[in-house]
Structure 1
């Protein structure tokens, strides 16, 4: 099997929401000076100068505000996200005042009154005393529909000031993000200086509102000379031996022209250069590099040599030339390809029958699920499908459910169960929220494969609110894989019965990889009698019991992250079975002298998928929080809430009685009720050949924020 490591390595290099990254910006000592006038950024309309670009989706922007002129005690400089360029637009700004205090302010909708973490009507959102902190480094992020503001004194250790949920402020997919300065003194300009800007490459600036005196933006080294500025972009079209490198010339400084190019190298080696391109104006540029070494890590950076002798480089970014030949996997943004476990999907080829689901109804889906013969199920509609407490089963062999083909926000099932009864089946990119109304009683899982099934793959699935388990493996089944899934919030009332996954007695060759178990009291997972499994590179967060392994069971437990366990005494891994353990860790809280494993320990792995290499446990949290769940680049609020809880360690782990754990719901109403997102439709042009490539492209489109559908 082949793992799409090039995308994984690029994601690790570029970072993810919740990880501080100073990448893709110029490394020259560039100072951006913004002069802004205006009465204020406040009340129902704003007056300031804005240096910005338009961003689609998530962002993570940091900057060092090295100086701010004291034209007024409420002069402001900082990072802003803004829905439009109108003066009264919805916006959020992490701001800094001349006294050095940083805080968050926001206008919840166009024309509304602005509030802040330091004002009476916004202080309830603050996570710091008094609503502000001393900070000269500022950070603003968007993850899904949640806006978060941070401050720092060193650019490395960040304090979150506030987290604004979409119920408070809700931006469209596309918004303007940039640096904002107001003098808070009509007719006066306030100068603010910024360095180490990361996460955006502004190319536009202008005054917002009636400022009386025009503002400006300039870049330089602080001594009066302006510098050329270049930004490193992404690596695209990464092949076995070739790649396209992308960058942007942001400023020529004082020069009339400049030569731009890229430097690249095998990681740790000597730099090579692409051919130079002469530019007389700013803009993006790219270069294609060939004759690279297959399956090798590379670094690259953008370079500019201006005609006045000024030289600058962008930050170093990375890619990997993976060998994609012969793998058989669909590939994805995740480290774990579809065939990373023991199950495989080699039965699928271009001869399958395509079943189009053209409306988001149970009947339309059931017709496709219960059809016979090798088939691909694609979706031309999205929405929430209420199963009315019933089971929806894939009854016949060789069915591939490609939920990634649905338009945003995807397919979400509620109030029932999805079960795979056939062999040779793949279920990808769907959500299921069972809940109390879905007959959540003993044995009621949101998703599983039936007893005795073989060669079943669950990839990028979201499974919530089971009364028994959330996503389980059938008894006496063979070759079952669970990858990149979000398995969360097993219900715990009327009795303590909140569980993640059960691997049923006699199940052989089970692989659970790259997934997130969150707010399930127990069975994360439960490995029953005489089972064989691999549990690798998963996160388990907010739990009382992790792995329970029964008599005759064997498991390889490698590279997992155990976070936020309750006040407990049992081992993380316990039972009468046998395990090999490697590179796992426990944190927040740590083991504190308690036992990690009380089960029988083996000297080597009892089983392991051919060709699989585990990630280092140190990479697991960043990776899984970026890629777990049905549509990581298109998460709904229920998914984002759980991901944020893990990332921010939001839930109280001090409880000693798991039945009273406040982060584990007793019913769906305690966590916002069933999803009720709307739906959309689109027409799919399904090719007659290369169907696997087509499915992979749709998968990437819902896993990678910068990927496009076919």
Structure 2
């Protein structure tokens, strides 16, 4: 398996021009422009939004089809804007569309003035339509001389005038910025809007305007699936769901799609416990409190696609997610167990049950376990952890700050591209008669790393061991047998100390077919970019841990390894349970090509600027 396998849409980050297409005054009808924007609103005396624009001189006539707008708030907005400057309080006019499909015109008559609209008291007198708005998904904004006009349509041919704003009400200079504007009406949350059939405009720049808390982006795609300039790039993690021994060959277009439309334990449980081959998608995001209990997948052939949830995704707290079935994939979920999340013994945030087979955990964040954080059941076969963030196992006298346990007899375990951070021990623990591959993973701020028990065999290749604070044992220890290749130790370095005290093998005892490990020197940059539930849409607890690794923030001068100050004893020491909000949106799930559809959704939350399907 080689790095950068997936095809994704070339995208523009905030403030960049990049390689987006230039349309020579009109965009091809098949081109889709995706704009992600945050911000409190485009309203009052100052705005917060993302803007994809060009500077225009004199008259213009711009048309666009707004095909989708994520419902982060009922007053999220997408539309066409003319703006005098890029300052937050600038004079502007916008033909806007809300998630309910209503289109109307709003404007700020001068810099710093309050905004009014055809639906507000201060601007309703300018409206040409009853109530100030119409149902429309086609939007048109024109300038003729000094008059700004806004129109809406349901077909792109028959236009209804919403309002004319004449000189005196608003006055623009000859040159102004014209473009696509999107606000989520929810600071720190991105709203995704999609536009097609853009004409009369060739935007080449994009920026966040005002306070947004999280950066927006722009990406383009054409009908052939390429980037705006006709090319394509590869992106995403080096490790796909099939990179280990487990695979998803059972998954095809015949699966049943289960939609989770509300962020409740009961709604998720119904999908997890359903019968038959199935795909679980999420039309809502937010935090689910498990109340100290377990939430299990109990029937075979289940693919949980957490990447389909709107920003900032699905987060579970105060409990455990378990796969107690065969042939399952769990992607792009977060789980924070915590001090009250059940008895300490066996209190993992996430694992697969004993005797299960062919289970994949990909891009999951598992925190605050009271035993381990992410573990493999006993006597299992073919389990993969790929691109996971396994962090901050709680460290109190009745608890164990541990990363992962690979249970007795587990065969064909692959731990790939994963980050272990601030877990005292078991990074991972390989119990009796297990077979495993640990490749291209990071262990940061730890006492003990790999412990291989009698009969255990493991290939340990291309890993990075960073910020160790106790050296009483070798990094790889125990009575098992391991093959060691291209591992690095840094900050502090090995400095003559023993890396491996276990029996060393002359060749790999097992290795997934087609897997190619990257050099250990590349692992830190790769894994910090791609590990965890939504690398392009991380919440604060995830970003905090990633920053700790990147900046080596935790002090390795530890007097008592059993009580390292960088490992929390309970969730309150690091800010408490996540309480991010959420939003809803409808998903259009195709009848065919489901595997590609799921992969593109995954890439959209893994690669900054990549577009959903």
Q: Please give the TM-score of this superposition, normalised by the length of structure 1.
A: 0.58
Match of 2:5 in 1: 5
Change (3 A) 1:4 1:338: farther
Structure 1: tracts of 5 or more residues without a match: 26-52, 57-82, 89-109, 111-169, 175-200, 209-232, 247-285, 290-318, 321-331
**Alpha-carbon distance, 1:494 to partner:** 2.5
| 1:428 maps to which of 328, 331, 340 | 331
Return the alpha-carbon distance in structure 1 between the equivalents of residues 416 and 479 of structure 2: 23
Q: Please give the TM-score of this superposition, normalised by the length of structure 2.
A: 0.66
1:631 and 2:534 aligned:
yes
RMSD: 3.6
- CA displacement, residues 199-244 of structure 1 (integer Å, 9 cap, x when unaligned): xx9789x9x9xxxxxxxxxxxxxxxxxxxxxxxx9998999xxx96
| 2:295 maps to which of 359, 380, 392 | 392
**Alpha-carbon distance, 1:6 to partner:** 6.0
Change (3 A) 1:418 1:565: same
| 1:408 maps to which of 284, 304, 311 | 311
SS of residue paired to 1:490: coil
**Alpha-carbon distance, 1:288 to partner:** 5.1
Change (3 A) 1:542 1:238: farther
- CA displacement, residues 92-113 of structure 1 (integer Å, 9 cap, x when unaligned): xxxxxxxxxxxxxxxxxx9xxx
- CA displacement, residues 391-432 of structure 1 (integer Å, 9 cap, x when unaligned): 111011111111111111111000000010100001000000
1:653 and 2:556 aligned:
yes
SS of residue paired to 2:384: strand
After superposition, residues 304-323 of structure 1 pair within 5 angstroms as: none
1:419 and 2:322 aligned:
yes
- CA displacement, residues 643-682 of structure 1 (integer Å, 9 cap, x when unaligned): 1101110011110312221110000110110000011111
Aligned residues, how many? 441
| 2:576 maps to which of 648, 658, 673 | 673
**Alpha-carbon distance, 1:349 to partner:** 0.8
After superposition, residues 80-95 of structure 1 pair within 5 angstroms as: 85-86=87-88
Change (3 A) 1:287 1:463: closer
- CA displacement, residues 287-312 of structure 1 (integer Å, 9 cap, x when unaligned): 559xxxxxxxxxxxxxxxxxxxxxxx
After superposition, residues 468-487 of structure 1 pair within 5 angstroms as: 468-487=371-390
Contact 2:52 2:205 (8 Å CA) reproduced: no
SS of residue paired to 1:639: helix
| 1:694 maps to which of 582, 592, 597 | 597
Match of 1:574 in 2: 477
Contact 2:486 2:519 (8 Å CA) reproduced: yes
Match of 2:32 in 1: none
Change (3 A) 1:696 1:172: closer
1:448 and 2:354 aligned:
no
Match of 1:618 in 2: 521
**Alpha-carbon distance, 1:457 to partner:** 0.3
SS of residue paired to 1:436: coil
SS of residue paired to 1:626: helix
Change (3 A) 1:55 1:571: farther
**Alpha-carbon distance, 1:618 to partner:** 1.2
Change (3 A) 1:235 1:523: farther
Contact 1:356 1:377 (8 Å CA) reproduced: yes
SS of residue paired to 1:438: coil
SS of residue paired to 1:696: helix
After superposition, residues 6-405 of structure 1 pair within 5 angstroms as: 85-86=87-88, 286=229, 333-405=236-308
- CA displacement, residues 518-562 of structure 1 (integer Å, 9 cap, x when unaligned): 000000000000000000000100000000000010000000000
1:558 and 2:461 aligned:
yes
| 1:592 maps to which of 495, 503, 513 | 495
**Alpha-carbon distance, 1:689 to partner:** 1.1
Contact 2:189 2:311 (8 Å CA) reproduced: no
Match of 1:683 in 2: 586
| 2:391 maps to which of 488, 491, 495 | 488
Change (3 A) 1:413 1:173: closer
Return the alpha-carbon distance in structure 1 between the equivalents of residues 565 and 578 of structure 2: 21
SS of residue paired to 2:258: strand
- Bigger mean CA deviation after superposition, 488-497 or 531-540: 488-497
Return the alpha-carbon distance in structure 1 between the equivalents of residues 303 and 220 of structure 2: 31
SS of residue paired to 2:340: helix
The higher-RCO structure (CA 8 Å, 6+ apart) is 2
Contact 1:2 1:337 (8 Å CA) reproduced: no
Return the alpha-carbon distance in structure 1 between the equivalents of residues 220 and 590 of structure 2: 27
